[in-house]
Structure 1
Amino acid sequence: MIPEIKQLADEYVSHIRLEKNYSSYTVSEYEKDLQDFLLFLQEEQIGQLDDVDYGVARLYVTRLYNRSYARTSISRKISAIRSFFTFISTRYGIEDQAFRLLYHPRKEERLPAFFYQQELEKLFDVTMGEDFRSLRDRALLELLYATGIRVGELVEIEVQDVDHYLGIVKVMGKGRKERFVPFGSFAEDALQDYINSSRPMLMKQKKHSSLFVNLRGDPLTDRGVRYILDDLMEKAALHTTITPHMIRHTFATHLLGAGADLRSVQELLGHSHLSSTQVYTHITNEHLRQTYLQTHPRA
């Protein structure tokens, strides 16, 4: 007997969390995508997954376009639902061709947003206090910029993952791939101040090994990091929208702009394919072009 749709969705989420070992961020995003799709089925009065055919899949994607979702978001939603149908097809024999037949929308040619050096310095300046919160925020920002790691990777770091002697941190990347990323003296000083002074006081009586904690002493979440960065942006009076990935984009852009080779940056970022890293060369090339146009007498 095939369970109800809601139960199937719960089984799938447990599967990618416990068996596939997807990161907490990926699980959260896939779960949201699945809930959005189930709400669509409810609105269309489709009560059985066997009734989801190619026409239904096309209608759903059309709704997403009408709601002005970015192509990257639509592509991710298709992947999430396609993965869900593959799971239930394997486990219960439900037809899974509807979303397999869909093409992923072509990605928009948008260059990643990044901070210029002077903007980044303003962010660091607002973390210069000596209170527990400022020490934590400075360590968090320094580590993000020093390593270019993803926020999902940051919140999974434990205290013992930081090697202060070698100046490296162990990171669990996408697909649970482990890598070691170096960091410099600024991040080391900030981490030492945070670990020795701030973290014990924020932890209170809590017992866990997560490196970064919130003001209640619990492990910091992806959402918590976003809140911290938004708060820093407001304090720095920077008139732009920040995403945690902007720090990662800035890391890669600044390295390439200073002459780092593409392969090394790929390794540091944990990209499986060089093409994922090459987008940052477009940023540096465009920045050089704009500098030329603004400064050359005959440009």
Structure 2
Amino acid sequence: MRVVRFDRVRTSVRRGLLAGQRLHQLARGGHHHRAHPRDRPDRARLRRQAQLRGRDHGAQRGQPRQHVRGPGLGAAAHLGPPGRQRRVPLPLARRQARPRRGQAQARRLDLRPGAEPIARARVLAEPPAGVEREYLDHLRVERALSANTLEAYGRDLSRLSAYARRRKRSVLDLGQADIAGFIGDLREHGLSARSVARAVHALRGFFRFCLREGKLRVDPMENLRAPRAFTALPRYLTPAQVEGLLDAPDVTTPLGLRDRAILEVLYATGLRVSELVSLRPSDLDMEVGILTCFGKGRKERLVPLGAQARRWTARYLEEARPRWAPRRGAAELFLSNRGARLSRMGLWGIVRRHALTAGVASTLTPHVLRHSFATHLLERGADLRALQAMLGHADISTTQIYTHITRERLRKVYDQYHPRA
């Protein structure tokens, strides 16, 4: 009988060679090769079963045999004694092999269609150290900036540190040309003009801090300007869309009751996400209809709470929250079903899920409800200064962005005040 050779099969591994020959003969309509004496089942073996990667661990004694299928072959049983483990021929094993680790990760990390690459991926995971950490401590203790602002500034300083290390220099040795190159590098890696402007603002404060502390003699950011960030009009919902969104949760369940209370409070107060998730039951005065919250910089402000929001919040406090509060003992107002504090991403998921249910928008965020709150108040004649106080803006110029009005409102004002309308 002619012996078929496989060039890629090691001749020292006799079992693999025999298995490959037998599969090849099956494909050509040949006969089985006679088993080697060492492969006979009646011969006792005291060997530890090999658990090597790439092997086919066959069935044990008393179990049905597994089958393999290759291109052009029918379902062929593994040949050999039922109690022995057989090696799959290398060509077949390579076709059935799992993808390499790097290839599998590349598929998991593919961006969804339409998504932009994340520029922070090039930043090292290590937190800022040295003078950068001193600056962040200064912002947290003396300036009382919020945790989200500190996190964003920390990312910007980490990018600057990574940029300086690639040039084998320290951050304090960077000149004006280096900073300009760093800003251009941020734009090349996908950051928007608004994000680059925030990074320039963070670096400007950082180098001023170093100059004031005597660590620098010249400010490299003195004559640099941030790229112009075009002001985009805020997105908002119509009153009919808001009603559809508020009616989306199933209030017969505890989670639906919680979600309805969250949506009602968001639209009734215009709170930020971080302000809402940090609320406590003691911050609500249900009789007067006033809500106390802490905004950016730990600034306290009072916001009116409407009758509908109070009614749904009271139902949530009576029916849903007592079920979850004893599990973790969290003190916040809105909890998850595990009794823990509701996270920012969890709140974002709640709003988006009910937006899809109501058919409002596919990418609705909690901040859109804040925009809707401000827009609807201005359309009905609210004072800009009162709106500034309710939103917690330090500068009224930030509130003026909500002075955009719909065409119907513009036409109504024109018809009312123009002498020849």
Q: TM-score range by the shorter chain?
A: 0.7 to 0.9
C-alpha displacement of 1:204 = 3.4
For 2:339, what is the secondary structure of its paired residue? coil
Is the 2:261–2:313 Cα contact (8 Å) retained in structure 1?
yes
Letter of the 2:177 counterpart: G
Q: Indicate the RMSD between aligned Cα atoms, in angstroms.
A: 2.8
Is the 1:50–1:95 Cα contact (8 Å) retained in structure 2?
no
Q: Which stretch of structure 1 is more off in the superposition, 106-115 or 248-257? A: 106-115
Query: Which residue of 1 is the match for residue 409 of structure 2?
Result: 288
2:369 to 231, 237, 247: 247
Q: Report the Cα distance in structure 2 between the residues aligned to 1:155 and 1:87, rounded to whole angstroms.
A: 33
2:308 to 167, 183, 186: 186
Query: Which residue of 1 is the match for residue 167 of structure 2?
Result: 45
1:168 aligns with 2:290: yes
2:154 to 11, 14, 31: 31
Query: Which residue of 1 is the match for residue 266 of structure 2?
Result: 144
Q: Which stretch of structure 1 is more off in the superposition, 15-24 or 128-137? A: 15-24
C-alpha displacement of 1:16 = 3.2
For 2:228, what is the secondary structure of its paired residue? coil
Q: Report the Cα distance in structure 2 between the residues aligned to 1:5 and 1:72, rounded to whole angstroms.
A: 22
Letter of the 1:288 counterpart: R
Q: 1:206 to 1:46 in 2, by over 3 A?
A: same
Structure whose CA Rg is larger: 2
Q: Deviations over 1:69-119 (max 9, x none)?
A: 332222112122333334444456245722343223333131111111222
Q: Report the Cα distance in structure 2 between the residues aligned to 1:65 and 1:109, rounded to whole angstroms.
A: 18
Q: Report the Cα distance in structure 1 between the residues aligned to 2:218 and 2:324, rounded to whole angstroms.
A: 48
Query: Which residue of 2 is the match for residue 295 of structure 1?
Result: none
Q: Which stretch of structure 1 is more off in the superposition, 243-252 or 30-39? A: 30-39
Is the 1:202–1:215 Cα contact (8 Å) retained in structure 2?
yes
Unaligned runs of 5+ in 1: 293-299
1:127 to 217, 234, 249: 249
Q: 1:249 to 1:55 in 2, by over 3 A?
A: same
Query: Which residue of 2 is the match for residue 238 of structure 1?
Result: 360
For 2:327, what is the secondary structure of its paired residue? coil
Is the 1:262–1:277 Cα contact (8 Å) retained in structure 2?
yes
Q: 1:291 to 1:64 in 2, by over 3 A?
A: farther
For 2:221, what is the secondary structure of its paired residue? helix
C-alpha displacement of 1:245 = 1.7
Q: 1:34 to 1:220 in 2, by over 3 A?
A: farther
Is the 2:211–2:219 Cα contact (8 Å) retained in structure 1?
no
Query: Which residue of 2 is the match for residue 80 of structure 1?
Result: 202
Is the 1:151–1:245 Cα contact (8 Å) retained in structure 2?
yes
Q: Deviations over 1:239-258 (max 9, x none)?
A: 34223221111000000111
Letter of the 2:145 counterpart: Y
Query: Which residue of 1 is the match for residue 381 of structure 2?
Result: 259
Q: 1:77 to 1:150 in 2, by over 3 A?
A: same
Aligned residues: 289
Q: Report the Cα distance in structure 2 between the residues aligned to 1:157 and 1:200, rounded to whole angstroms.
A: 16
Is the 1:226–1:243 Cα contact (8 Å) retained in structure 2?
yes
What TM-score does the superposition give when structure 2 sets the normalisation length?
Answer: 0.62
Letter of the 1:58 counterpart: A
Higher RCO, Cα 8 Å, sep 6+: 1
C-alpha displacement of 1:162 = 0.8
